[in-house]
């Protein structure tokens, strides 16, 4: 199956921004839905808790309220950081798996965070670790996803937005808050997500160019993996089990991937020329690591067009052999679906080149 081209014929670096806008619109119209321009009456952040943890680490929990007319919703985000005198880089972690309505993580529960985010590894490397509970504004459920932000901006029509779009929107609202906070360095904000949140990290990074680096872990179908020729999960699986993630049009391509005018290398290309890292796990056949690798290879053409390096590596790498040299990084590690300390080691080594 021929993969659609990134370019409309010969394209120069100067012509890329126009082509980029076109592709972004096609990705929205066919996969993720169009993100509505929401004019809120209020987006109000509150600090709920500030704690000093062990080893000079600080913890904060915030809640942002979003209101338009009578409709409102709110979302938690949490920050682990070491107080510094200079603005520090931050890694924004999209978490859509925490369905507790707790206002904050109790200190005793920090181990759980460690499992989910590895905040110690991140803060030890000199970054603030920001957890974003994006599902607070959009439930990860086909029946109830319309609550929350979709009461303010409902999904409408075949290209109406879905949960991935809403979660990506929510991350950008945290970027708004951090942007105004002198403790964080606006030029050094990275976004990361795992699995469904990995798909979200890519869609968020595609739309919000304030994010200086994008990391996607085991994102698979609807994430980094090319749809054409893919094994494991496909559009039919994703749109029948999770119809709320994407726009309604996406499901119409089930078993007709060849008709989709886009493929996932275009999503990855939206990050160029910013650093992008994609990773997989070898036993995660549902994701199909080889198809993510191929997508990173294909998307790299855009980095090269823009005078950057793209992925350096011609062959699918052996397990646990990260390709860290170019502006697009990739690894496939031993084991199955999920985020492990090994993944963080690779991401942090890669990010260091850019964030110091």
Nearer to ligand GCU among residue 193 and residue 329 (C-beta)? 193
CB of 196 to ligand GCU, least distance (A): 3
> CB-wise, 16 or 145, nearer to ligand GCU?
145
Q: Say how far apart CA 85 and CA 49 lie, in whole Å.
A: 21
DSSP letter for 97, please: -
Catalytic residue (choose from 74, 114, 234, 337)? 337
Tell me whether strands 58-68 and 42-52 are parallel, antiparallel or unpaired: antiparallel
Taking the least distance from each CB to ligand GCU, the nearer of 72 and 286 is 286
Q: Tell me how far, at minimum, the Cβ of 246 lies from ligand GCU, in Å.
A: 11
Find out whether 176 and 182 touch, Cβ atoms under 8 Å.
Answer: no
Q: Considering the complex, what minimum distance in angstroms separates the CB of residue 181 from ligand GCU?
A: 30
Q: Which long-range contacts (CB under 8 A, 24 or more apart) does 56-61 make?
A: 56/82, 56/83, 57/81, 57/82, 57/123, 58/82, 58/83, 59/105, 59/107, 59/110, 61/103, 61/104, 61/105
Residue 337 among the catalytic residues: yes
Report the alpha-carbon distance of residue 179 to residue 186 in Å, rounded.
6
Cβ of residue 242: shortest distance to ligand GCU, in angstroms? Answer: 7
Nearer to ligand GCU, 152 or 221 (CB): 221
Residue 216 bears catalytic tag: no
CA distances from 117 to 92, 194, 328 (A): 10, 10, 22
Q: Do the Cβ atoms of 291 and 280 come closer than 8 Å?
A: no
Q: How far is the CB of 142 from ligand GCU (least distance, A)?
A: 13
- Of 195, 219, 279, 292, which is the active-site residue? 195
Nearer to ligand GCU, 233 or 280 (CB): 233
Residues that bind ligand GCU (CB under 6 A): 195-196, 220-221, 233, 238, 286
Cα–Cα distance for residue pair 221/198, rounded to 1 Å: 10
Enumerate the active-site residues.
Answer: 195, 337
């Amino acid at each position: 199956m021929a993969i659609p081209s990134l370019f409309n014929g010969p394209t120069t670096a100067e012509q890329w921004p126009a082509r980029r806008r076109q592709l972004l619109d096609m990705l929205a119209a066919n996969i993720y839905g169009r993100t509505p321009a929401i004019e809120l009456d209020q987006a109000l952040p509150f600090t709920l808790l500030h704690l000093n943890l062990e080893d000079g680490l600080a913890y904060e929990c915030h809640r942002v309220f979003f209101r338009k007319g009578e409709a409102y919703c709110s979302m938690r985000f949490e920050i682990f950081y070491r107080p510094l005198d200079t603005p520090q880089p931050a890694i924004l972690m999209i978490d859509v798996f925490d369905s507790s309505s707790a206002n904050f993580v109790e200190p005793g529960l920090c181990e759980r965070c460690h499992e989910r985010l590895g905040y110690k590894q991140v803060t030890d490397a000199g970054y603030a670790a920001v957890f974003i509970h994006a599902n607070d504004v959009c439930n990860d459920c086909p029946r109830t996803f319309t609550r929350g932000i979709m009461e303010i901006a409902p999904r409408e029509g075949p290209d109406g937005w879905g949960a991935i779009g809403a979660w990506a929107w929510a991350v950008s609202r945290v970027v708004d808050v951090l942007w105004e906070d002198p403790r964080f360095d606006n030029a050094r904000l990275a976004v990361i997500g795992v699995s469904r949140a990995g798909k979200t990290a890519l869609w968020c990074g595609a739309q919000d160019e304030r994010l200086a680096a994008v990391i996607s872990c085991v994102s698979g179908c609807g994430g980094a993996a090319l749809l054409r020729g893919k094994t494991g999960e496909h559009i039919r699986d994703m749109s029948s089990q999770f119809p709320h993630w994407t726009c309604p049009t996406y499901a119409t391509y089930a078993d007709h991937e060849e008709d989709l005018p886009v493929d996932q290398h275009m999503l990855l290309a939206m990050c160029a020329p910013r650093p992008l890292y994609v990773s997989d796990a070898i036993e995660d056949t549902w994701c199909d690591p080889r198809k993510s690798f191929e997508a990173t290879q294909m998307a790299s053409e855009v980095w090269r067009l823009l005078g950057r390096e793209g992925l350096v590596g011609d062959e699918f790498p052996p397990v646990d052999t990260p390709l860290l040299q170019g502006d697009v990084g990739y690894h496939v590690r031993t084991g199955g679906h999920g985020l492990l300390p090994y993944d963080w080691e690779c991401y942090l080594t890669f990010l260091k080149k850019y964030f110091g």
